[in-house]
Amino acid sequence: MEKKKERGSKMDFEKAKLNPAAVFKSPQEVVSSQELSREQKIDILRRWEQDARLMEVAEEESMPGPQPKLLQPIRNALHALNYWPDTEHSSPSKV
């Protein structure tokens, strides 16, 4: 199944924000997008990072998910946008 985006559509940004993996093949594709502002890219990547953390927790609990490990590529993409999240004070993904 080929993933594609409609150009300049607000709906696509909203969809990407809700489920980045449904719109983009990789975190680097978000960074490379000419259609999104830096802030939009960061929003999308932060959501993707949250999803990846939840998937890691699920894997730790023997519930493997469909996504490969993406946490480091997502962080690399955020760093490429000169965004350095405060990982020491981020909310835990495991309660």
Count of other CB atoms within 10 angstroms of residue 55: 20
User: Does residue 3 surpass a pLDDT of 80?
Assistant: no
Radius of gyration of the chain (CA): 14
The number of angstroms, rounded, from the C-alpha of 82 to the middle of its chain's C-alpha atoms is 16
Q: How far is Cα 54 from Cα 10, in angstroms, rounded to an integer?
A: 26
pLDDT confidence tier of residue 74, bands split at 50, 70 and 90? very high
User: Does residue 95 surpass a pLDDT of 50?
Assistant: no
Structure tokens at 74: 């997502």
Amino acid at 76: N
Count of other CB atoms within 10 angstroms of residue 78: 21
**Angle formed at CA 72 by CA 91 and CA 14, multiple of 5 degrees:** 65
Q: What is the pLDDT of residues 8-52, one digit of tens each?
A: 455 488 999 999 999 999 999 999 999 999 999 999 999 999 998
What pLDDT sits at residue 2? 44
pTM of the full structure: 0.73
Higher pLDDT, 81 or 8: 81
The number of angstroms, rounded, from the C-alpha of 46 to the middle of its chain's C-alpha atoms is 6
What pLDDT sits at residue 42? 97
